Amino acid sequence: MSKKKQTEAEEVKEEKTGEASEETVEEEEKAAPETEAKPEEKGAEKPEEKEAEKPEEAKPKTDELAAMNDKYLRLCAEYDNFRKRTQKEKDAIYADVRANTLISFLPVYDNLVRALNQPTEDEAYKKGVEMIMTQFRATMEKLGVTEMDCLGKKFDPAFHNAVMHVDDEEKGENEIVEVFQQGFMLGDKVVRFAMVKVAN
């Protein structure tokens, strides 16, 4: 082969190689825009859109927190009411039990009063009964029980039980002139009503 033919063959080969490389570059350029366009086609979220959605996502959580806080406050209030009601019931039960126990001892008090009112010449006996009565009254006072002061007072159905009535011009209207059975109070509670005679 002559040098001239060899040179022409090399030029043809270079032209073919150049065309092939140009086609490869064009294909790469076509493929690149498609690759770049894919995120937009898929609907990729922009940072601004994400920031706009944050308050909407936080709102349900805020509502849930407020509901839980309200539920907690209601529970605390219910427990406080339950505690107060239970304590009040306990106090009432204790007062009732104490009053019922004291009522069972009142006949002893009544018998001591009768014994003191009986005339006797035995001074030792009389002194012994007086000492027992003093001790009994001191014990009652320690337990919070007090005797009603009825004689000469106005009749009050909340504290007194009138079993007799008498007309006496020297006495006032509805005045208690005699006490047949002593009444007792436990704080503000009536343990036993006083049995009395009322004038006018």
pLDDT in tens, 21-70: 455 545 555 544 444 444 444 444 555 545 555 556 667 788 888 899 99
pLDDT in tens, 126-160: 999 999 999 999 999 998 899 999 998 999 999 99
Q: Quickly tell me which residue has 């343990």 as its tokens.
A: 191
Q: What is the Cα–Cα distance from 82 to 78, expressed in whole angstroms? A: 6
Confidence of residue 13 (pLDDT cuts 50, 70, 90): low
pLDDT in tens, 100-120: 888 999 999 999 999 999 998
C-beta separation of 100 from 145 below 8 A: no
Per DSSP, 156 falls in state -
User: How big is the CA angle at 185 (ends 179 and 190), to the nearest 5 degrees?
Assistant: 90
C-alpha distances in Å from residue 5, one per residue of 13, 14, 15, 17: 12, 14, 16, 19
Amino acid at 196: V
The pTM for the full model equals 0.56
